[in-house]
A and B are shown apart, each in its own frame.
Chain A
Amino acid sequence: MRSWAFLIFLAGSLATAENKMVQVPAGTYTPFYPDKEAASGPVHVESFFMDVYPVTNDEYLQFVKHYPQWRKSKIKRALADPHYLKNWKRDLQFSDSKMTNSPITFVSWFSAKAYCESSGKTLPTVDQWEYAAYDNGRSEKELKERVLKWYSEPNPRNLPHVGSTEKNGFGIYDLQGLIWEWVYDFNSPTGGESGAFCGAGAGSAKDSRDYVSYMRFAFRSSLKGSYTTANLGFRCVKEVTK
């Protein structure tokens, strides 16, 4: 009897965890800022699991319940700036119940990374995120138009809940048009940062008309690890165990 109960429990918890991730198959994409030294062709990305949705306020709440050092009142200033969880009323309470299933924002790279690690995941690398967002070029024109429109709009007072924007061909929602997302190697140099740099560096952008990507890369390169802001959240990835 007990072993049945255990198996049902296990299946239930695995289903909850795995249902929220999708396996992105291995493939290639051409980076916006290709490596100048290597042949500037497509980059291969190994298969990985990616969160279907960005992390929500409610999910982050569960995290800080377990890990008090990441709470609003306890956070170390070196790991998050003074706006950390600004839109939460207190340590374990959002300021609005509508926020439950909307993406967590006002989180730093350090805190986002810690969240992912707490469930055996990591932040996506630039390559993983860009490859997932590129979506094998599906509906590329419509996607760019939609994101351009999103860029031009002011931040809504309450962010919509996750799953509000398009599901892409990989089955992933909200990669563009809901929030900006942290990546693991956000502090990787991109094009146009020569001067202070050792090493050959990146070449110029592959498509100078791709304003959407320009903005995204420019935004990322403006970030510091402790920064938090209104429309910056994250999701996690997990490697495929062989």
Chain B
Amino acid sequence: MLLGFPAYSHHHHRGQAEEVPKPVLGESIYNLNSSWKNQENQEMKLSAFRSQPVIMAMIYTSCRDVCPLTILDMQRIEKGLSEKARDKARFVVVSFDPEKDSPQKLAEYGKAHGLDFKKWTLLNGSAEAVRELAAILDVRYKKLKTSDFEHSNIITILDREGVIKYQQVGLSQDPKKSIDTVESQLH
């Protein structure tokens, strides 16, 4: 349900003198309140990535066509980052396919691609959560009758507040602009 309340409202109920975090910026994708499960089956919100620059894309694991290239493109960005940036950057891969891409399936997929789960997170969410996230990222997709997904290929760079700073559109693009955008988050 997208009747989201500001992130900080949850911190008041215990009556403790907790520091109220700065509210999420109006332009941030973290205004989406959807719940997700990562590859370790832990429930989380997108706002968990707040304070790190994020490199985000959407795929589905049974894609035999081009989705593996998206992961490669993200890894190209990772390899191009300075050590400092690589330490801070977080890579988030979201599945279009909640039915087939269970957290366990995502964990297997991640392992098969040699992804470091300290830096890479794969997410499973409801069909509605996926539709909303795709909408906010300008990703177009459709589940076909064959259970494949037709979808655009976009890698999104988010700043530390979850605001979209740059999008790398299409496969096998030059990662330079994406790399520079991530680096610029860390000055």
Contacts and interface: CB of A to CB of B under 8 A. Distances in A.
A9 interface: no
Nearest to A109: B135
A196 B144 contact: no
B135 A225 contact: yes
A110 B135 contact: yes
A138 interface: no
Given A79-B31, A196-B170, A199-B65, A110 B2 contact: yes
Interface stretch (A19-27, A45-53, A113-121, A143-151): A113-121
Q: Which of A184, A189, A202, A226 lies at the interface centre, i.e. has the most chain B CB atoms within 10 A of its CB?
A: A189
A37 B148 contact: yes
B169 interface: yes
Given A35-B144, A78-B28, A196 B169 contact: yes
B165 to A, nearest CB: 13
Q: Secondary structure of the B side of the interface? A: loop
Contact of A197 (B3, B32, B131, B152): B152
Nearest to B142: A188
B145 A38 contact: yes
Contact of A196 (B26, B67, B152, B163): B152
Interface size range on A against B: 35 or more
Nearest to A38: B145
Interface string B117-143: 000000000000001101110111110
A196 B3 CA distance: 33
Interface of B: 1-6, 24, 26-29, 31-32, 63, 65-67, 131-132, 134-136, 138-142, 144-146, 148-154, 163, 169-170
Contacts of B4: 69
Contact of A198 (B27, B146, B149, B169): B149
A198 B65 contact: yes
Contacts of A200: 144, 148, 150
Contact of B3 (A38, A118, A189, A226): A118
B136 A199 contact: no
B142 A38 contact: no
A185 B150 contact: no
Nearest to B5: A69
Contacts of B31: 76, 78-79
